[in-house]
């Protein structure tokens, strides 16, 4: 259960990181 929870948390963090990187790229392209 604990391992599953940490897996979900890591997945969320990774998704957030991907989202931030994508936004940064879009901003760079726009500017």
Q: What is the pLDDT of residue 12?
A: 92
Rounded CA separation 13/9 (Å): 6
- The residue extents of the domains of the chain are 1-31
pLDDT for the residue numbered 1: 64
The CA–CA distances, whole Å, from 11 to 1, 14, 16, 22, 27 equal 15, 5, 9, 16, 24
Per-residue pLDDT of the chain (31 residues; tens, 9 = 90+): 688 888 889 999 889 999 999 999 888 887 6
CA distance 31 to 25: 10
Check: pTM over 0.85? Answer yes or no. no
């Amino acid at each position: 259960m604990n391992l599953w929870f940490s897996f979900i948390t890591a997945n969320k963090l990774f998704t957030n990181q991907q989202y931030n990187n994508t936004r940064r790229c879009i901003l760079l392209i726009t500017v």
